Amino acid sequence: MRTLLLSDIHANAVALEAVLADAAGQWDRLWFLGDLVGYGPDPNECIDMLRDKAALALSGNHDWAVLKKLDMEEFNPEAKQVVNWTRQTLGEAQRDYLNGLPPLIIEADFTLAHASPRHPVWEYILDMQTALENFDFFDTPYCLVGHSHVPALFELHDAAVLNGYVAGAGEVVELGLRRLILNPGSVGQPRDGDPRAAYAVIDQKAMTWTFHRVVYDITETQRRMKALKLPRRLIDRLAQGV
Ligand code: ZN
């Protein structure tokens, strides 16, 4: 069984299309780790593209903000602006689909949480200490998270995190040796300095997790955002991958 892992699509349909084309033939099921909407220009299109393909899908903090399940106090002004625009733009069927997604799912050896197992829509796992604390909040061998938009891996050895790093394109991680928190990175708005769309594939026969990156037409996403008068800063950051 090969699982395609996607997270943080953020209404970037051009990036999602590029990922699905690049990953074609490499997966048997698709899991999505949350934040389908927010930031980008194509919320309805992204929901329509993902809905029929995803065997499991989570909601993220931007999805919750659009659904008014979450206060936007901690959102920056640009993010808030796009949440408001998305509320007006979303179709009824698309809103219903988002509304049905949970922020955390446990499936066999995997705990899936948008942000962290401790705080499923809130917490960023970006450092060793936060990762270490979160190993106490799930019982499965593996926890899969998104939210930070940074492809990363944290390994637990003997009740202390000995290793954690930002993963590069093409990196292959062997599974079955230790407990792991894994983040495939973001499809629609990468923040590790590499603007290419990020995804991962788990191969449970080979017992591997592989980090992937794919070039997409960033200028086309930016063109759509400009046409909709979405915030300048959100348009610019796509080209920088920050
Ligand atoms: Zn996100």
Rounded to the nearest angstrom, the distance between the alpha carbon of 99 and the centre of ligand 1 is 17
Rounded to the nearest angstrom, the distance between the alpha carbon of 108 and the centre of ligand 1 is 25
Rounded to the nearest angstrom, the distance between the alpha carbon of 139 and the centre of ligand 1 is 25
Rounded to the nearest angstrom, the distance between the alpha carbon of 60 and the centre of ligand 1 is 7
CA distance 201 to 214: 13
Confidence of residue 46 (pLDDT cuts 50, 70, 90): very high
Domain ranges across the chain? 8-220
Rounded to the nearest angstrom, the distance between the alpha carbon of 46 and the centre of ligand 1 is 14
Rounded to the nearest angstrom, the distance between the alpha carbon of 121 and the centre of ligand 1 is 10
Rounded to the nearest angstrom, the distance between the alpha carbon of 169 and the centre of ligand 1 is 20
Rounded to the nearest angstrom, the distance between the alpha carbon of 188 and the centre of ligand 1 is 9
Tell me what the pLDDT averaged over the chain comes to: 96
Rounded to the nearest angstrom, the distance between the alpha carbon of 2 and the centre of ligand 1 is 24
Rounded to the nearest angstrom, the distance between the alpha carbon of 126 and the centre of ligand 1 is 14
The pLDDT of residue 94 is above 80: yes
E strand or H helix at 32: strand 29-32
**pLDDT digits 0-9 by tens, 189-206:** 999 999 999 999 999 999
Rounded to the nearest angstrom, the distance between the alpha carbon of 66 and the centre of ligand 1 is 13
**pLDDT digits 0-9 by tens, 136-164:** 999 999 999 999 999 999 999 877 777 88
Residue 28: per-residue pLDDT: 98
The pLDDT of residue 2 is above 80: yes
Rounded to the nearest angstrom, the distance between the alpha carbon of 172 and the centre of ligand 1 is 24
Rounded to the nearest angstrom, the distance between the alpha carbon of 72 and the centre of ligand 1 is 14
Residue 112: per-residue pLDDT: 98
Rounded to the nearest angstrom, the distance between the alpha carbon of 6 and the centre of ligand 1 is 11
Confidence of residue 232 (pLDDT cuts 50, 70, 90): very high
Rounded to the nearest angstrom, the distance between the alpha carbon of 158 and the centre of ligand 1 is 31
Rounded to the nearest angstrom, the distance between the alpha carbon of 149 and the centre of ligand 1 is 6
H and E: helices and strands count for the chain: 8, 12
Write the DSSP symbol of residue 135: G
CA distance 78 to 178: 40
Write the single-letter amino acid at 227.
Answer: A
pTM across the whole model: 0.96
Q: What is the mean pLDDT of residues 62-73?
A: 93
Rounded to the nearest angstrom, the distance between the alpha carbon of 185 and the centre of ligand 1 is 10
**CATH code, 8-220:** 3.60.21.10
- φ/ψ of 152, rounded to 5, equals -155, 165
Q: What is the DSSP string of 222-241?
A: HHHHHHTT--HHHHHHHHHT
Whole-number Cα distances in Å, 97 to 44, 45, 142, 159, 168: 10, 13, 27, 39, 33
Q: What is the mean pLDDT of residues 179-187?
A: 97
